[in-house]
Amino acid sequence: MVVNGYREEIDAPSVSTNEAAAVRTALNHLRQLGHQRVGLATGQSRYLPSRCKVTEFRAQVAEFDTDEPAIEQTWFSVEGGELAGRRLLERGVTAVICGSDMMALGVVKAVEQQGLSVPSDVSVIGYDGSLLTQHTSPALTTVRQDLNGLSAAIVHALTEEIAGHRHPRGDLLFDPELVVRASTAPARPGAAKRP
């Protein structure tokens, strides 16, 4: 059983969150809020979900921005988010999509260390939908994975395989859901100017 790491050459059932849909959902939300310079803070490229997010982010940003996409790949941790956040702020972003909720907490910390505020100056979106996101200050907007759907599909596939029935191969994708909270807000007029 492969979870969030589908590879065609592995002969096993696979279920994943639709990482491309996650990026599109977050970007659409930020575009609706008027953000033109959005950054992506995600994990290292050795992780398939990170590679998928980066690929989709590049494709989406290329549609409306001729500049090199603002992408920072570090670690899936508060410290990684803080480092990525500092680098992205230097590039003039007004919003950051993060590869995990823990990274988002680090980005919030980086924003505050610059004397700025979330969401007044910079909007931040996490990823995973961990329970802690509703208790942070500000409460974190996040792209929540469908853990119930993923879990049910995993149990079903494993049960089929154990019973000797070959479960279909290929990657079964589950679309995530945007949970809007207090860490995103409309871009301030003039905030999208490049440094």
Instruction: Give dist(CA 55, CA 101) in Å, integer.
Output: 20
pLDDT at residue 193 in the model? 47
pLDDT at residue 192 in the model? 52
Q: CB under 8 Å to 22, separation ≥6 — which residues?
A: 53, 127, 143, 176
**Dihedral sign computed on CA atoms, order 163, 165, 171, 173:** negative
36 within a domain of the structure (yes/no)? yes
**Tens place of pLDDT per residue across the chain (195 aa):** 999 888 889 899 999 999 999 999 999 999 999 999 999 999 999 999 999 999 999 999 988 776 889 999 999 999 999 999 999 999 999 999 999 999 999 999 999 999 999 999 999 999 999 999 999 999 999 999 999 999 999 999 999 999 999 988 888 999 999 999 999 999 988 765 443
**Dihedral sign computed on CA atoms, order 81, 83, 85, 91:** negative
191 within a domain of the structure (yes/no)? no
pLDDT at residue 170 in the model? 86
26 within a domain of the structure (yes/no)? yes
100 within a domain of the structure (yes/no)? yes
CATH number at residue 142: 3.40.50.2300
Q: CB under 8 Å to 21, separation ≥6 — which residues?
A: 173, 175, 176
**pTM confidence score:** 0.93
Tell me the one-letter amino acid at 164: G
- Domain, as residue range, for 162: 2-179
pLDDT at residue 191 in the model? 65
Helix (H) or strand (E) holding 42: strand 38-43
64 within a domain of the structure (yes/no)? yes
CB distance 104 to 40 below 8 Å: no
67 within a domain of the structure (yes/no)? yes
Number of other residues whose CB lies within 10 A of the CB of residue 10: 12
CB distance 70 to 93 below 8 Å: yes
Looking at the structure of the chain, the number of domains it has is: 1
195 within a domain of the structure (yes/no)? no
